[in-house]
Amino acid sequence: MLTQTIGFIGAGQMARALAQGFQVAELVPGERIFAWDPVADAGQRFVKLVRGAGLVASNAEVVRRADVIFLAVKPQSMPAVMAELAGKVGPEKLVVSIAAGITIGRLSEGLKTNRVIRVMPNTPALVGHGASAYSLGSGATAADGELVGKLVGAVGRAFVVDEKLLDAVTGLSGSGPAFVYVMIEALADGGVRMGLPRDVAAALAAQTVRGAAEMVLATGEHPAVLKDKVASPGGTTIAGLKALEDRGLRGALIAAVEAATTRSQELGKP
C-alpha cells in the first residue's frame, strides 16, 4: 500500500478508471483519493464508483492536499488549468499529466515546476487492460518514475519511453482501440452477411480479437509467425488474407496511426 495522497484535476472516465485501478490493486485506499471537476455529474459519478473517495471545491484545493496531482483534463482545457495553478505547485509535489499532446516543456513552463511526468493511457484501462506509456520530466526522480509505473500499471501494461515517442504512442495505443472497434464491427458484419445472427457474430468477432491479442502477448511470437500458423496452404485463411491485402487493410491501419500521431503533435503546439 502506497502512502501518497492522490488528487485528480478532472474526474472523467479516465480519472475514474485510474482511481478504481489503484483500489483494485490495493495501492491506494479511497480515503487518500479525491478529485475536482467543474461538471457536477462527473464529480458525483467519481465518488460513487471510487469507494471512499472525496470531492474538493477547486483545482487549487487538489494541489494543496495532494502529493501526486493527476491532470486529467482535455488538451484544450490545459492552458486555463495551467494559468490557474501557475506557481502553486510546490517542489514536494509530483504532477502527472494524461492530456494528449501537451509536452512536458509546456507543462513545466505553465505550472512553474519541472517535477512532471507525462502519461498516455488508453480507454481499455476501464476494464484493467490498458496500454500506457510515460516519460519523466527533468525534475522527476527515479522514485517518481517507479511510483507512476506502479500506478498506471494497476490498469494494464505500462512502458517508459522517450517523450518524443509519446505522440506515436497516442496514435497507436491511445487512438488504437477505436481502430480495433471498427475491425470488430466489420468482422461481425461479415459474419452477418454470411448468415450468422448479429449477437453471435459480434461476440465471435470480439472474442477472436481478444484471443488473438492474448496469443501475441502470451507467446511473444511475432504476429506474422502466428498468422502463418493459421494460414494453411490453399486454405480458407490465406484466401481471406489475400482479400485484406487486395483492399489495403494493412496500409489503412498504418495511415490511421500516422494521422492520429500527427494530430497529437498538432495538439501539443501552443
- Average pLDDT over the chain reads 95
Output the pLDDT for position 59: 94
Fold of 176-267: ProC C-terminal domain-like fold (1.10.3730)
Are the C-beta atoms of residues 33 and 18 closer than 8 Å to each other? no
Q: Residue holding cell 474538493?
A: 56
Are the C-beta atoms of residues 7 and 62 closer than 8 Å to each other? yes
What would the CATH number be for the domain defined by 6-166?
3.40.50.720
pLDDT tens-digit series, residues 246-265? 999 999 999 999 999 999 88
CA 76 vs CA 81, 102, 134, 268, 270: distances in Å: 10, 9, 20, 10, 10
| Cell reading at 267 | 495538439
pTM above 0.85, yes or no: yes
- The rounded distance, in Å, linking the Cα atoms of 256 and 79 is 28
- In the predicted structure, residue 270 carries a pLDDT above the cut 80: no
Are the C-beta atoms of residues 165 and 133 closer than 8 Å to each other? yes
Residue 142 confidence class, pLDDT cut points 50, 70, 90: very high
- In the predicted structure, residue 126 carries a pLDDT above the cut 90: no
176-267 has the same fold as 6-166: no
Distance of CA 146 to the CA centre of its chain: 18
pLDDT tens-digit series, residues 38-93? 999 999 999 999 999 999 999 999 999 999 999 999 988 999 999 999 999 999 99
Compute how many other C-beta atoms are within 10 angstroms of the C-beta atom of residue 102.
Answer: 26
- The residue ranges of every structural domain in the chain are 6-166, 176-267
